[in-house]
């Protein structure tokens, strides 16, 4: 492949992984793989400067901004660290520091690299005043209310311990392994998607709108970077706020709150020891090293010992200890020259592949699973690993009986990453992806642009039948909470139900099976099913399980077409006119209604009394006052929540869009509208409307 297409491919893929990681909180590759791709891109871009692009993924360090929190600019940018992956790269760092300091003796502090999310805390007069996430490094989300619930973060520093009048301290918020495992167990019971790792769980928790929930999740925090305004005790501000060395506080004087005399912090290590005295949680595993060998020994020791730590770590951070020397070495555009991260290798084991089996999901998607000889990996016995799809099997060139490498990176589910070809038997048979469904025998299909194979027999394949019913009864659909996956399976096994309509014909006698002890629960179940006929139309549209029609799309379809009949008769063009509906969803809706089995089920559901059109109340409130208008919502509101405003815009025929463009009709702005949005709106001359003006328009 020529370098141009390689650069383009890398950019496209990295954009997507960035989105999976930062927006969806669901990474699909390991950090290591991501870093390797990013490195390759950076190298290629350096070699071919004519390919420079301000929008390249290499030009940003990622963003975790969440619109619902107030955004706050960091006083000093939150930089990241350059990564190294092997000892020779650590040696290179050591040599660069040595050269940079021109032979002067120096110490390197080695410490754990915590794998959570970074936070910047501000303390004034010993009290926590602000907690801000990293965001894009320049500005982050104000999550103070949530952070206040984390018990290891002091709200008030120890009186008389000598803390400075005002300072910032940075560290990592983590979810300990025990809390993480408990949380996932609970989510499994509630059939909610599991968090892939403690970092995602911690990040999802911290972004929650409810600090109550945050408190219940038992987060923890370690602090590792103390910042103090240079030579000041009060409101002094650094001269400028950019990425250059002088704007980063280095050596600083501070006055203790109770002692009049100034204190001088000269080193990172000393600063953190003092911070521990003020009440912060500082890692015990910090070491001052004076030789490269000591650093390497520290890395080796913690590579195994970290498995006994209560929280996730993914490497070691090395920092030049002296603040004066740090200042001398300075920063590159993205990271300090005085520090580096060494990333641990994902744990890997080698074992025999005995069989590939296939699971059929509720949508009919087929997942190949590697069944292997049991092997110890990162503290658990691994027997099975996901192989994702046919392409992955082909890329790995898997053969039956192969010795395969399995890895457990930041993720909990292990994966097969390679094959030891030297150990392959000459007569080994390549793995052939199945052609028919292992559950029902239907020939598999592959949709254009999708990696997965599907079983198309959605009305006759057991896991799909059960999956559809489970979806139908779920909380956001018909919310029939006295049924669950076990009852669905039980009813299905007993031939009581074969589709969602059958639920409404169940009798207490059938459900209890004539067992008197079960009469009460059976009655409850049957009544709950009956009661569900009152669920509003939009949730019925979601519940019937049209492929690719999620909760939001269902809502938009319900509002636009107003009844099941209209929706069933909608043309492709009419469907595609709905926000978020493209080719694929439109086709899926059409396919759904042209299937005779589905039509039969719908007609039965109608007979049982399910809501098949939008209610009169909903209809009554609808106007076309905002017809054809694209509205961007920004900031914090007093009268209604953001979601309520979104609903109001749609109720009045308008469209809520995420970002400002020339096509935007107006911006509905609350307090603290994001500065970037404000600037863009002003530049494009787009009207900015406040809550009162907006409400007047729709209520007039
Ligand atoms: S120091 C200017 N120390 O790793 C350097 N960072 O890419 C400030 N991290 O965003 C960071 N453990 O979230 C530092 N002991 C440690 C750390 C640590 C984890 C995270 C931090 C940062 C990222 C570096």
CATH number at residue 694: 3.40.50.10190
Q: Where are the beta strands (DSSP E) in 516-638?
A: 630-634
* Beta-sheet pairing, 220-227 with 630-634: unpaired
Q: End of a domain among 324, 343, 362? A: 343
In SS3 terms, 308-361 reads as HCCCCEEEEEEEECEHHHHHHHCECCCCECCEEEEECCCEEEEEEEEEEEEEEC
How does pLDDT run across 537-549, given as a tens digit for each residue?
A: 999 999 999 988 9
Confidence of residue 257 (pLDDT cuts 50, 70, 90): very low
Tell me which range, 9-23, 226-240, 302-316, 618-632, is most confidently predicted by mean pLDDT.
302-316
Q: End of a domain among 343, 376, 392? A: 343
Same domain, 119 and 218: yes
Confidence of residue 250 (pLDDT cuts 50, 70, 90): very low
Tell me which range, 37-51, 412-426, 433-447, 651-665, is most confidently predicted by mean pLDDT.
433-447
How does pLDDT run across 682-692, given as a tens digit for each residue?
A: 899 999 999 99
Same domain, 253 and 325: yes
**Does residue 438 sit within a domain?**
no
With 60 as the cut, is the pLDDT of residue 675 above it? yes
pLDDT at residue number 7:
92
Determine the Cα–Cα distance for residues 405 and 351; give it in Å rounded to an integer: 7
With 70 as the cut, is the pLDDT of residue 255 above it? no
In SS3 terms, 209-220 reads as CCHHHHHHCCCE
* Domain boundaries, position 635: 625-699
**Does residue 251 sit within a domain?**
yes
Confidence of residue 533 (pLDDT cuts 50, 70, 90): very high
Nearest-CA neighbor of 670 among 616, 700, 631?
631
Q: End of a domain among 472, 504, 534? A: 534
Whether this prediction's pTM lies above 0.85 is answered by no
What average pLDDT does this structure show over 139-145?
91
Q: Which residue has the higher pLDDT, 66 or 661?
A: 661
What average pLDDT does this structure show over 450-456?
88
Nearest-CA neighbor of 218 among 279, 187, 177?
177
Determine the Cα–Cα distance for residues 407 and 423; give it in Å rounded to an integer: 19
The answer, yes or no, to whether any atom of ligand 1 lies below 6 A from the CB of 224, is yes
pLDDT at residue number 236:
30
Same domain, 147 and 211: yes
Distance 118 CA to ligand 1 centre (A): 7
Distance 116 CA to ligand 1 centre (A): 10
**Does residue 403 sit within a domain?**
yes
CATH number at residue 209: 3.30.470.30
What average pLDDT does this structure show over 56-70?
55
- The one catalytic residue in 113, 415, 466, 555 is 113
Confidence of residue 173 (pLDDT cuts 50, 70, 90): very high
**Does residue 434 sit within a domain?**
no
With 50 as the cut, is the pLDDT of residue 63 above it? no
pLDDT at residue number 20:
65
In our burial notation (b when 16+ CB lie closer than 10 A, e otherwise), range 466-485 reads: bbbbbbbbbeebbebebbbe
Which atom of ligand 1 is closest in space to residue 283's alpha carbon?
15
Same domain, 307 and 238: yes
pLDDT at residue number 152:
85
Mention every residue, 6+ apart, whose C-beta is less than 8 A from residue 71. Answer: 65, 135, 139, 140, 141, 142, 672, 674, 675
pLDDT at residue number 190:
64
pLDDT at residue number 230:
65
Among the ranges given (198-212, 413-427, 511-525), the one the predictor scored with the smallest mean pLDDT: 198-212
pLDDT at residue number 67:
37
Count: domains in the chain: 6
pLDDT at residue number 258:
41
**Are 22 and 63 in contact, with CB atoms under 8 Å apart?**
yes
In SS3 terms, 44-102 reads as HHHHCHHHCCCCCHHHCCCCCCCCCCCEEECCCCCCCCCEECCHHHHHHHHHHHHHHCC
pLDDT at residue number 260:
41
- According to DSSP, residue 264 is labeled E
pLDDT at residue number 411:
59
Paired strand residues for 128: 123
pLDDT at residue number 159:
85
Same domain, 412 and 500: no
With 90 as the cut, is the pLDDT of residue 639 above it? no
**Does residue 456 sit within a domain?**
no
The answer, yes or no, to whether any atom of ligand 1 lies below 6 A from the CB of 195, is no
Same domain, 164 and 236: yes
The answer, yes or no, to whether any atom of ligand 1 lies below 6 A from the CB of 340, is no
Same domain, 322 and 397: no
Distance 264 CA to ligand 1 centre (A): 24
Same domain, 162 and 50: no
pLDDT at residue number 61:
40
Confidence of residue 401 (pLDDT cuts 50, 70, 90): very high
Tell me which range, 35-44, 468-477, 643-652, is most confidently predicted by mean pLDDT.
468-477
Same domain, 608 and 636: no
Token pair, residue 405, equals: 């490498």
pLDDT at residue number 241:
29
**Does residue 591 sit within a domain?**
yes
Determine the Cα–Cα distance for residues 358 and 349; give it in Å rounded to an integer: 23
Distance 248 CA to ligand 1 centre (A): 15
With 70 as the cut, is the pLDDT of residue 248 above it? no
Nearest-CA neighbor of 219 among 237, 235, 240, 204?
204
For 447, 489, 508, the CA distances from 466, given in Å and listed in that order, are 23, 7, 20
CATH number at residue 524: 1.10.150.20
Ligand 1 pocket mutation pick from 298, 341, 343 by most atoms within 8 angstroms of CB: 341
What average pLDDT does this structure show over 647-652?
86
CATH number at residue 54: 1.10.287.610
pLDDT at residue number 239:
28
With 90 as the cut, is the pLDDT of residue 508 above it? yes
Which atom of ligand 1 is closest in space to residue 336's alpha carbon?
2
Same domain, 111 and 233: yes
With 60 as the cut, is the pLDDT of residue 23 above it? no
CA dihedral 163, 167, 172, 173 (to 10 degrees): 80
Determine the Cα–Cα distance for residues 223 and 271; give it in Å rounded to an integer: 11
Q: Which residue has the higher pLDDT, 78 or 185?
A: 78
Token pair, residue 470, equals: 């489970």
The answer, yes or no, to whether any atom of ligand 1 lies below 6 A from the CB of 122, is no
What is the residue-averaged pLDDT of the chain?
87
Can 680 be counted among the known catalytic residues? Answer: no
Same domain, 402 and 547: no
pLDDT at residue number 68:
67
**Does residue 445 sit within a domain?**
no
Paired strand residues for 133: 119
The answer, yes or no, to whether any atom of ligand 1 lies below 6 A from the CB of 339, is yes
**Does residue 575 sit within a domain?**
yes
What average pLDDT does this structure show over 341-346?
90
Q: Which residue has the higher pLDDT, 258 or 239?
A: 258
Same domain, 29 and 162: no
């Amino acid at each position: 492949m020529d370098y141009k297409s390689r650069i383009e491919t890398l950019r496209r893929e990295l954009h997507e992984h960035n989105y999976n990681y930062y927006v969806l909180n669901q990474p699909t590759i390991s950090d290591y793989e991501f870093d390797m791709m990013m490195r390759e891109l950076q190298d290629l871009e350096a070699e071919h400067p004519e390919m420079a692009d301000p929008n390249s993924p290499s030009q940003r360090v990622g963003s975790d901004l969440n619109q619902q929190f107030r955004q706050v600019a960091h006083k000093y940018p939150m930089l990241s660290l350059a990564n190294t992956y092997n000892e020779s790269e650590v040696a290179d760092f050591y040599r660069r520091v040595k050269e940079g300091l021109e032979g002067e003796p120096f110490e390197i502090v080695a410490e754990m690299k915590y794998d959570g999310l970074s936070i910047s805390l501000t303390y004034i007069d010993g009290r926590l005043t602000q907690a801000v996430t990293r965001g894009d490094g320049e500005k982050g989300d104000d999550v103070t209310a949530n952070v206040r619930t984390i018990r290891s973060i002091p709200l008030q520093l120890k009186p008389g311990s000598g803390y400075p009048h005002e300072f910032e301290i940075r560290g990592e918020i983590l979810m300990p392994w025990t809390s993480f495992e408990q949380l996932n167990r609970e989510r499994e019971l509630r059939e909610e998607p599991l968090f892939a790792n403690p970092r995602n769980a911690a990040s999802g928790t911290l972004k929650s709108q409810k600090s109550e929930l945050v408190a219940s999740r038992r987060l923890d925090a370690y602090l590792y970077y103390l910042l103090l305004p240079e030579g000041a005790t009060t409101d002094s501000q650094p001269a400028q706020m950019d990425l250059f060395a002088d704007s980063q506080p280095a050596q600083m004087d501070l006055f203790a709150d109770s002692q009049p005399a100034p204190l001088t912090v000269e080193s990172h290590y000393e600063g953190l020891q003092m911070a521990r005295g003020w009440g912060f949680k500082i890692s015990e595993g910090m070491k001052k090293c004076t030789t490269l060998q000591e650093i390497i020994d520290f890395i080796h020791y913690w590579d195994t010992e970290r498995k006994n730590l209560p929280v996730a770590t993914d490497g070691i951070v090395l920092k030049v200890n002296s603040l004066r020397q740090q200042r001398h070495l300075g920063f590159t555009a993205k990271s300090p020259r005085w520090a580096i991260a060494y990333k641990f290798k994902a744990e890997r084991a080698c074992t025999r592949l005995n069989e590939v089996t296939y699971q059929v999901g509720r949508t009919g998607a087929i997942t190949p699973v590697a069944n292997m000889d049991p092997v110890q990996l990162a503290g658990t016995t691994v027997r099975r690993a996901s192989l994702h799809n046919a392409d992955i099997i082909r890329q790995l060139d898997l053969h039956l009986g192969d010795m395969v490498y399995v890895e457990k990176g930041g993720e909990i589910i292990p994966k097969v990453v390679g094959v030891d070809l030297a150990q392959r038997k000459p007569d080994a048979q390549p793995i052939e992806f199945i052609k028919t469904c292992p559950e029902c025998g239907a020939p598999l299909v592959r949709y254009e642009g999708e990696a997965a194979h599907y079983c198309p027999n959605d009305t006759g394949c057991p896991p799909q039948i059960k999956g559809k019913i489970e979806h139908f009864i779920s909380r956001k659909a018909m919310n029939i909470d006295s049924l669950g996956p076990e009852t669905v399976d039980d009813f299905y096994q007993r031939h009581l139900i074969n589709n969602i309509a059958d639920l409404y014909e169940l009798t207490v006698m059938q459900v209890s099976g004539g067992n008197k002890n079960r009469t009460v629960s059976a009655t409850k179940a049957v009544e709950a099913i009956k009661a569900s006929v009152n669920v509003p139309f939009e949730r019925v549209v979601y519940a019937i399980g049209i492929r690719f029609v999620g909760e939001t799309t269902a809502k938009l379809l319900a509002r636009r077409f107003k009844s099941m009949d209209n929706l069933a008769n909608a043309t492709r063009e009419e469907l595609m006119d709905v926000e978020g509906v493209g080719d694929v969803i439109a086709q899926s809706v059409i396919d759904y209604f042209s299937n005779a089995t589905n039509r039969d089920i719908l007609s039965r559901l109608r007979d049982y009394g399910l809501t098949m059109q939008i209610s009169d109340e909903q209809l009554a409130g609808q106007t076309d006052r905002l017809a054809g208008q694209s509205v961007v919502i920004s900031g914090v509101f007093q009268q209604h929540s953001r979601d309520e405003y979104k609903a109001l815009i749609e109720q009045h025929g308008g469209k809520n869009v995420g970002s400002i463009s020339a096509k935007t009709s107006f911006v509905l702005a609350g307090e603290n509208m994001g500065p970037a949005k404000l600037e863009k709106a002003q530049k494009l001359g787009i009207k900015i409307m406040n809550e009162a003006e907006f409400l007047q328009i729709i209520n007039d």
